[in-house]
Structure 1
Amino acid sequence: MVSEKDTGYRKNFSLIVTFIVLISVVFILSLFLAFNYSKKNIENEFVSAKANVLEESIKPYNDFFFNKLPEISYYNGFLDSATASKFVDTILLQYPFVSKVVFYDTEVRNIKYEENGMNLGHFSIGIKGVYQFGSLVPKDSVKLFTESEGRNYAEAEDFNALAVKLINFVQKLDTAKVPSQDQLFSNFTNIRSNKIDYFNIPSPEQLKTYKRMVSEKLDSQPVYQQDLLSFQLDPSKIKIRNTRPLLYQNIRIEPITYDPLDASSEYVTGEIALPGAFSEFKLYFISSRSFVKKEIFSYFLPIAALLLLFYGVLVLVAFLIYRNLNINHKMFKLQYDFLTNLTHEFKTPVSVIKIAGNNIKSAPSISEREQKLYGKILDEEADKLNGLMNKLLAFTQIENKAITLNRDEINMAEFIESTIDVHCLKHPDFDFTYELDGFKTFVTDPVLLGSLFDNLAENAYKYSPVNHKKLHISARLIKDRVVFRFKDAGIGIPSSEINNIFKKFYRIQNRYNQNGSVGLGLAFCKELVNFMGGEITVKSVVDKGTEFKIVLPYNNEL
C-alpha cells in the first residue's frame, strides 16, 4: 500500500477545520448580535409604538372635536330643545365617551342690561333656556331653566366662561380683517378637564354687527340666536385600540398623577398623555418581561433562521470541499495502484519472456523437451500480455460506446461446458458445475458473454482458499429474462465493501489481492452487463462465499 507521503499527495484539512471553526464563531457572534439587536429594537418599539396606540384610540375624539362640533354652527343659533335633543342623540350614540350634554339656548340683544346674561356697552347676551341630555338624565330633569320662569339661573359657569371670551373677542375685533378659523374656534370654544363648551360661530357680517352693538344702540334693534353646548366627557369610556397586542400586555387609562406602588423589575411600563379635554389623563402601558421576551424571540427567530441557513450553506460548501478532496485522494491512490499493478502485470510476463529468450540464445543446444518448455512459457506469457491489453481496450471501447453488440444464437449448454473445459484445463483443482433450466438457446453476443463468464470464473478461483475452489453456475429463464447465478465457496466480501467492488481500479485489501490485480475485473463485468442491457447484483457472506446474479433480456429472435 502506498502512503500519502510516498505518493507526494497532501490532504491539508487544517484549512477546512479552520474555516468551519471561523464560520461557527462568526455564526455564534451573529446570533448574539442579532438577539441584542432584536431586544433593543423591541424595547425601542415599546416606547415609540405608544404614539400609534394613542393615535388610533383617540381617533373618535378627534373626529368629534374637529368634525362634529363645527356642525353646531350650521344651525346658525336656531336650535331649540327638540332639535338639540335629536342632535345630541346622534352624538351620544356615535361617541360613547360623551356622558352628558347641557344645551344653553341664548340670545344676543342690543340693550344695556341683560338680567340672565353678560353685558358690554349695548351688547348683551342672555339665557333663554337650559336643557340637559344624557343616558343617565331622568326625563323629568331635562329642562333646567326657561326665561318664562322669571328667575335667575345661577348654575351657569359654562355659559359665563364662554360668554366672557365672546365679549372680549368682540371688543378686540378688527372689522377690517376677516378672523382666521383658528381665532374663531379658540374664542368660541372653551376646553377644560373632561369638558368642552362650544358656541356656534356667527358669520363675519354678524360679528361686525356685534362690534357695533358694543358702542351704540342700533335703530333696527337686532336680536341674534346663539347656541351653546357643553359636553361632559368620560375618559374611561374611550375605547383603547391596542395596535401591538403582542407587545403591550395591558393598556389602561389612568390620571396623569398615577404612580403605581407595585412597580417592579418584573414589568416594563410606559405612559403617554391624552390630548385636549383628557389632558389630565394618560394611557398607561404595562407588560411583564416574559411577555415582552416572547415578542423579542418572534422578531429574533426569523433572523436566526436566515443566519442558520447561511451558516448551513457555508458548512455544506466546506463539506463538498472535504468530499472532493477525499474523492480526489482516493482516485489518486486508485490510479497510482492501477499504474503500479499494471506495470507489474506487464513487467512479469516481459521479464519471463526476456529470461526465456536469453536462455534460448545463450544455450549451445536445446533439447526437444526444453524447446517445448520454452515455447509453452513464451506462449502463455504472450497470452497474458494480449489478454491484459484486450481487456483494457475492450473496457475503453465499451465505456465510449465504440463497439456494437453482436447478436448470435448460441447453445447455452455447449457454451457453459466450453467455459468449464477451459478453466478446468487451466486449473485442474477447480470444481466447476452448472445447471440449465427453461431454455436451450440464447441470442446474445458470445464474445461479451464469454468475457463475463471468464472474469467471474477467474475471480471465483482466485478468491477461494485451497480445497474450496468451487463454482456453480445456474442459468434459468424467468418470464422474459435470463438469470445467471455464479455461486462460489470463497472468502466472501465484507458488507462494507459491497458498494465499492464495481468501481474502476478498486481492490479489496486481503492476502489474495496483493499482486496480479489492477481492479478492473468486476468494473469490466458491470460495464459489460450494462452494455448488454442487463443488471448485476451481488450477495456475499465472509468466509462462506459469494453469489453474483446477472439478469439479461431474453429475445431469441435474430
Structure 2
Amino acid sequence: MALDKKSSYRKNFSLGVTFIVLISILFILSLFLAFNYSKKSIENDFVSEKVNVLEQSIKPYNDFFQNKMPEISYYNGYLDSSTAAKFVDTVILKYPFISKVTFYDTEVKNVPVKDGINANHLGIGPKAIFQFGKGVKPDSVKLYSEDDTRSFNVGSDFNAIAIKLATFVEDLDTASVPTQEELFTNFSIVNSNENKITYLNIPRREDLRVYKEMIRRKLNPAPVYQQDVLVFNLDAHKIKIINTRPLLYQTIRIEPLTYDPIDTSDENINTEIALPGAFSDFKLYLISSKSYIKKEIFIYFMPIALVLLLVYGVLLLVAFLIYRNLNINSKMFKLQYDFVNNLTHEFKTPVSVIKIAGNNIKSAATLSQKEQQLYGKILDEEADKLNGLMNKLLAFTQIENKAIKLNQEEVNIVDFIESTIESHTLKHPDFKITYEVLGFKTFITDPVLLGSLFDNLAENAYKYSKPEQKKLHISAKLIKGVLVFRFVDKGIGIASSELNNIFKKFFRIQNEYNQMGSVGLGLAFCKELVNFMEGEISVKSKVGSGTEFKIVLPYNN
C-alpha cells in the first residue's frame, strides 16, 4: 500500500509539474506575443495618429477659411479702411498664422478703369489699397488711391480675382441659381505657392445680373457698385501644432514639402503628412527616437501583461488546489483503506479466538473445571474486545453527530482517578501510574465520557512506551476557574511533523507499535469527547522522551 501511495504521489506531482510547465510556457509565449502586438500597434499608431495631429493643428485654419473669411460678404462691398482695419485686427488676433492682409476697396463700373481689369463695358478696379498686419509700418498702411497721379501696379492677386469675377459674370446663366459652393469657389483663390488666399465678397444675384448687362452694353446712367477684395498672406510656421499624442511623437515640425532630412539614423523613426489648402507646399514632419517610443509601447503593454499575469496566477491557484485535493483524496483513500483493513483485523482476531475456543469446547469429550474457566475467560475477554470496539465506533458517531446528551453528575476526582488506575494496572501489571490533585475535590461532568477520555489516553501511554518505560503521571488542577488535566508519559514520543495530524480520523503514525492494527480513532475520539464537553485538548511531545496531553475543561461545581 505504501508503494501505491508513493506511486500515486509521484503521478500527481508529475501531472502538477507538467501543468505548471505548460501554463508557464503559454504565459511566456503570451507575454511575447502581447509585447509584439503592443509594438506593432504603437508603430501603426505612429503612422495613423498623425491625421489627428493634423486635424487638431489645422482646425483654426479650417475655421478661418470656412467661417471667418465668408463674413466679408456680410458687408456687401461697403468695407472702408476703418472697418477693414477692425476686421483684420480680430482675424490676426484669433488666427496668428495670418501675417498680413491687403485690402482693395474695389469698384465695379460701366466704364473702363485705369488700374484693374476691363471686360467690354465692365471695369473692375480699386479706388484704394490698404495694407494691415503686425509687421506693416504706419506710413505703409495706405498703398494706393485713385486720386494718385503716379502709376501703380495693383498686383497679380487683384487682377486674378477680377478676371475670375468677369469670367463668372460672362458665363452666368441668369435663369439658374448658383450654389453657395459655386459662388465661394469662384470668388476666392487659394495660392499655395505664395501661401495666399484672395477673397472677393460674393455679390448679390441682382448685382450679378446688372454686371452681366454692364459687360454687354453701356447703361444709362452708368452704375457703380462697391466690392471688397482682401488678400490674406499666411505663414505656415505660425500654425500652432497640437500634439495629440505627446508620448508618441517626440518632435513635430512644419517643413517644406520637399524637405528630406540628412540624418537617417536607425535610432529614429519618422512620418509626415501634407498640410491642406494654402499650406499645401508644407508638411507636418513627426519624429521620435526608438527609446522614446518604447515608453509608449510599455504603457500599452503593461495592462495586457497584468491581465495575463492575473490569468496565470489564477491557473497556478487552480493547479495548486487540484494538486492539494488530489493529495487529500489520496490520503483519505489511504486512511479509509487502512481503517477497513485494521477494523477487519481488529474484528477478525477476537472472532478467530472465539471460534477456536468454541471448536475446542465442541470437539472435547469432557472438560475439566480448569479448562472450562480458561475457555470462559478467553470467550469473555474477546467478547469484551468486540463490544469495546463496537461501543467506541458507536459513541464516536453519536458524539460527532451530537446524538447524545451530556449527563451532569458530581464526580469525586480522587476516587475517579484511582478507579482508572486500578482498572489499567489490573489489565497491565507492569504499568506504573501516579497522580496528583490540587485545588478541588469534586466537579460536575459526564463520568462515562470522562472515563472514556481517561481510558484512551492511559491506553495510548501504555501502548506507545517501551517495556521499561511504561509510566504515566496524571495531574488534575483547578487553575483560574478551569480544570487542567495533564497526562505525561515516558513513551517513544511523537515527531513534530506529525503533531498537527494526530487528532484526525483514521490517521496512524507509522511505527512498530502500529503494525498489529489500529483503526486511527483513539485520539480523534478524545478530541471529539473534549469538544463535546466544551473543553480543549493539546499535545506536546519529544521523540524518545515522552508525550504530554493537556486537557482544559470548564469547572462546574
Paired residue type of 1:137: V
Answer yes or no: is the 8 Å Cα contact 1:250–1:287 preserved in 2: yes
In the other structure, the counterpart of 2:258 is 257
Match of 1:280 in 2: 281
Q: Tell me the residue number matched to 2:402.
A: 401
Using the TM superposition, give the Cα deviation of residue 246 of structure 1 relative to its aligned residue in structure 2, in angstroms: 2.0
Native 8 Å contact 2:453 2:529 kept in 1: yes
Shift of 1:456: 1.0
1:157 lines up with 2:147 in the alignment:
no
SS across alignment from 2:510 = coil
The CA distance in 2 between the partners of 1:216 and 1:339, in whole Å, is: 127
* Mapped partners of 1:97, 1:549: distance in 2: 93
Deviation at 1:10, TM superposition (A): 11
Deviations 1:80-114 (A, max 9, x none): 11111111111111111111212111111111x21
Q: Report what 1:167 is aligned to.
A: 166
Question: In structure 1, what residue type is equivalent to 2:122?
Answer: F
Aligned to 2:90: 90
* Cα deviation code 1:405-439 (max 9, x no counterpart): 11212122222222122122222232322233333
Query: Structure 1: where are the runs of 5+ without partners?
Result: none
Structure 2 partner of 1:229: 230
String of CA shifts for 1:477-525, please: whole Å, max 9, x gaps.
3344322222222221111111111111111111222113111101111
Equivalent runs, 1:60-459 vs 2, <5 Å = 60-111=60-111, 113-154=112-153, 156-193=155-192, 194-459=195-460
For 1:286 and 1:528, locate their aligned partners in 2 and report how far apart those are by CA, in whole Å.
80
- Kept after mapping to 2: 8 A contact 1:4/1:10: no
* Structure 2: distance between partners of 1:348 and 1:417: 31
SS of the aligned residue for 1:165 comes to: helix
| Greater shift in the superposed pair: 12-21 or 42-51 | 12-21
CA contact (8 A) 2:491 2:547 kept: yes
CA distance in 1, matches of 2:485, 2:204: 113
Could you give the per-residue CA deviations for residues 139-158 of structure 1, whole angstroms, max 9, x where no partner exists? 33322222233333325232
Q: Which amino acid letter does the alignment assign opposite residue 100 of structure 1?
A: K
- Matched AA of 1:448: L
SS at match of 2:117: strand
Q: Percent identity?
A: 72
**Counterpart-to-counterpart distance in 1, 2:437 and 2:286:** 91
- How far residue 287 of structure 1 moved from its aligned partner, in angstroms, is 1.3
Q: Which amino acid aligns with 1:546?
A: T
**CA distances 1:260-303 after superposition (whole Å, capped 9, x unpaired):** 11122211110000000110111111111222233223223323
| Kept after mapping to 2: 8 A contact 1:11/1:329 | no
Tell me which amino acid in the other structure corresponds to 2:91: I
8 Å CA contact retained: 1:480, 1:555: no
Secondary structure of 1:136 counterpart: coil
Q: Give the stretch that moved more between structures: 461-470 or 304-313.
A: 304-313
| C-alpha contact 2:5 2:330 (8 A) present in aligned 1 | no
| CA-to-aligned-CA distance 1:56-93 (integer Å, 9 cap, x gap) | 11111100000000001101111111111111111111
Q: TM-score, normalised by structure 1?
A: 0.93
Query: How far, CA to CA, are the matches of 1:43 and 1:235 in structure 2?
Result: 28
Deviations 1:16-46 (A, max 9, x none): 5555444444444333333332222222221
Q: TM-score under structure 2 normalisation?
A: 0.93
Indicate the residue corresponding to 2:51 in structure 1: 51
CA contact (8 A) 2:190 2:196 kept: yes
Structure-1 separation of matches of 2:237 and 2:542: 86
CA shift, 1:385, in A, is: 1.2
SS of match in other structure, 2:63: helix
Match of 1:477 in 2: 478
List gaps (5 residues or longer) in structure 2. none
Query: Cα deviations across residues 294-347 of structure 1 (Å, max 9, x unaligned)?
Result: 322322332333333334434433333333322222122111111111122122
On the 8 A contact 2:8/2:330 being kept in 1, the answer is no
Equivalent pair of 2:199/2:230 in contact (CA under 8 Å)? yes
Residues of 1 paired with 2:92 and 2:9: CA distance? 91
**Post-superposition shift, 1:259?**
0.8
Following superposition, the deviation at residue 11 of structure 1 comes to 5.3
Question: Given residue 187 of structure 1, which amino acid in structure 2 is its aligned partner?
Answer: N
User: Secondary structure of the residue that 1:493 maps to in structure 2?
Assistant: coil
SS in 1 for 2:456: helix
- Could you tell me how far apart the structure 1 residues matched to 2:48 and 2:553 are? 77
Determine the C-alpha separation between the residues in 1 that align with 2:18 and 2:551. Answer: 48
How far apart are 1:399 and its partner, in Å? 1.8
8 Å contact kept, 2:431–2:462:
yes
The offset of 1:14, in angstroms, is 5.8
* RMSD, matched Cα: 2.4
Q: 1:353 Cα deviation (Å)? A: 2.4
Of residues 163-172 and 294-303 in structure 1, the stretch that sits farther from structure 2 once superposed is: 294-303
Distance in 2 of aligned mates of 1:157 and 1:512: 119
Going from structure 1 to structure 2, the CA distance change for 1:153 and 1:551 (only over 3 Å counts) comes to farther
How far apart are 1:358 and its partner, in Å?
A: 3.5
